[in-house]
């Protein structure tokens, strides 16, 4: 039985977007080097540094770059440039210091 032709999408899907639309650091976070580094670091530092400062022990699930990869690619795999954080603290820091998820930092023109 024949089927109707598919309608074109109004917006591109994630895989249809150009690398510049995804962001400059997206390829890095998919790399084998990053995945290995992240796994090893979280195994060695399993607790969220911010929760420890608050006197609570929470497993870290995310690795946070202190200097963003976009600004300092030379520090991307440097252990002194990362901190183990729980999802809550990582999200809070991202919004506070970087303006949010993919948005411009506060105070930047444009």
Its pTM stands at 0.69
Distance CA 92, CA 110 (A): 24
Distance CA 46, CA 59 (A): 6
What's the number of domains the chain is made of? Answer: 1
> pLDDT tens digits for 12-64?
554 444 444 445 668 999 999 999 999 999 999 999 999 999 999 999 999 99
> pLDDT tens digits for 51-107?
999 999 999 999 999 998 988 999 999 999 999 999 999 999 988 887 766 555 555
Q: Does any domain span residue 71?
A: yes
Q: Does any domain span residue 19?
A: no
Which residue range(s) make up the domain with 54? 25-98
Percent of the chain whose predicted confidence (pLDDT) is above 70 = 70
Q: Does any domain span residue 6?
A: no
């Amino acid at each position: 039985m024949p089927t109707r032709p598919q309608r074109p999408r109004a917006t591109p899907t994630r895989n249809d977007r150009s690398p510049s639309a995804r962001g400059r650091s997206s390829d890095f976070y998919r790399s084998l080097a990053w995945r290995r580094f992240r796994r090893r670091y979280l195994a060695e530092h399993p607790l969220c540094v911010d929760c420890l400062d608050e006197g609570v022990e929470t497993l870290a699930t995310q690795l946070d770059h202190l200097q963003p990869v976009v600004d300092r690619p030379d520090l991307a795999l440097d252990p002194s440039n990362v901190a183990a954080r729980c999802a809550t603290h990582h999200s809070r820091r991202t919004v506070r210091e970087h303006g949010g998820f993919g948005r411009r930092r506060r105070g930047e023109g444009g």
